Amino acid sequence: MNALAPSVALDTAAARVMLRARDITKSFGPHLVLSGVSLDVKRGEVVCIIGPSGSGKSTFLRCLNFLEVPDAGGVWVDGERVACQEIDGVLWELPARVFARQRASIGMVFQRFNLFSNLTAEENVSLALRLVKRLPRSEARDIARAVLASVGLERFIHHRPSQLSGGQQQRVAIARAVAMEPKVLLFDEPTSALDPELVHEVLSVMTGLAGTGMTMVVVTHEIGFAREVSDRVVFMDGGGIVEQGVSGEVLANPSEPRTKAFLSKIK
């Protein structure tokens, strides 16, 4: 392939950037949801995106792995352009096979878990290991069991999603994403659909994951998690980033009035 445009060239200083989003723009019909959002996430960094509903934070996250196709802008993971390739000055979509393979390196955890309801917990985790990574069945099963054990679910490997609590389902969903050894892990409000007493078990798994050096982008309303675990907090409103910075500072002393107003409401 040929060189990237100079404005987004990955220089040596930026080589530590694991995820790069540039000028992501997205409209649904006449409604502009994202107006040119850019974000760099360093290797091993944990970034929390907060903001009122309708601010575009979930849409932005879904644009990062092209579950929503942005109208403009670009996404790079570990220096590789996501879903697109430039050939002789023309932007083409990647071949479906290559794109699918690439998506396996961008893990995603959904608000509503989206576990495969026809499969057991173990099968949920091992499916892509077999089908995408082409591992033999026994090896995929061993990895699945190990990852499920790491989220504390070794006793539930043969349970179906309907037999698990919300918190357990979300931990299986995290295990399913982690098993693929993604370069970056995206969380779309992972605790918003949980009963309050189950939030903690999911957050503690995520905290453990952050400790392993996983690069994470987390859309969340859990300010406590943002303060204690994330390296950086990004506040979005009206389809753009209003303010960002070291989590402790932004959350304690927001400089923008809109951030102040939002934080005062949810505390």
Partner 1 sequence: MANASPSAVSGAQDYLSGKPRVLGRGKRMAVTSLVIFAAAALAAYILTSGAFNWTVIWAFFFHPAILSGLAMTLELTALSMIVGVLLGVCLAVMAVSRYPAVSAASALYVWMFRGTPLLVQLIFWFNIALVFPTVGFGGWSVSVNALVTPFMAALLGLGLNEGAYMSEIVRAGIGSVDKGQREAAQSIGLGGGQVMAHIILPQALKVIIPPTANQTIGMLKNTSLVSVIGAQELLTKSEDIYARNFQVIELLIVASLWYLLMTTIASGIQFWLERRFGDDRAIRRMVGEQA
Residues between 131 and 170 that touch partner 1 (CB under 8 A): 131-132
Helix (H, G, I), strand (E, B) or coil at 224: helix
Minimum CB separation of residue 169 from partner 1 in Å reads 12
Check residue 173 for interaction with partner 1 (CB under 8 A). Answer: yes
Which one among 104, 135, 223, 263 touches partner 1, defined by CB under 8 A?
104
Separation CA 11–CA 16 (nearest Å): 10
Minimum CB separation of residue 123 from partner 1 in Å reads 9
Separation CA 40–CA 11 (nearest Å): 13
Confirm if 191 and 220 have CB atoms less than 8 A apart: yes
Minimum CB separation of residue 163 from partner 1 in Å reads 16
| Part in contact with partner 1 (CB under 8 A); list of ranges 77-85, 102-110, 190-198, 246-254 | 102-110
Confirm if 122 and 141 have CB atoms less than 8 A apart: yes
Minimum CB separation of residue 253 from partner 1 in Å reads 36
| Part in contact with partner 1 (CB under 8 A); list of ranges 47-55, 93-101, 203-211, 244-252 | 93-101
Nearest residue (CB) to partner 1, 189 versus 237? 189
| Part in contact with partner 1 (CB under 8 A); list of ranges 51-59, 135-143, 171-179, 208-216 | 171-179
Minimum CB separation of residue 36 from partner 1 in Å reads 25
Q: Within 13 Å of residue 262, how many CA atoms lie on the same side as its CB?
A: 26
Minimum CB separation of residue 114 from partner 1 in Å reads 4
Confirm if 214 and 109 have CB atoms less than 8 A apart: no
Confirm if 50 and 220 have CB atoms less than 8 A apart: yes
Query: Nearest Cα to 237, choosing from 22, 51, 39?
Result: 51
Q: Can you read off the two tokens belonging to residue 140?
A: 């995929």
DSSP letter, residue 94: P
Binding site for partner 1 (CB under 8 A): 65, 67, 96-97, 100-108, 110, 112, 114-118, 127-128, 131-132, 173, 176-177, 180
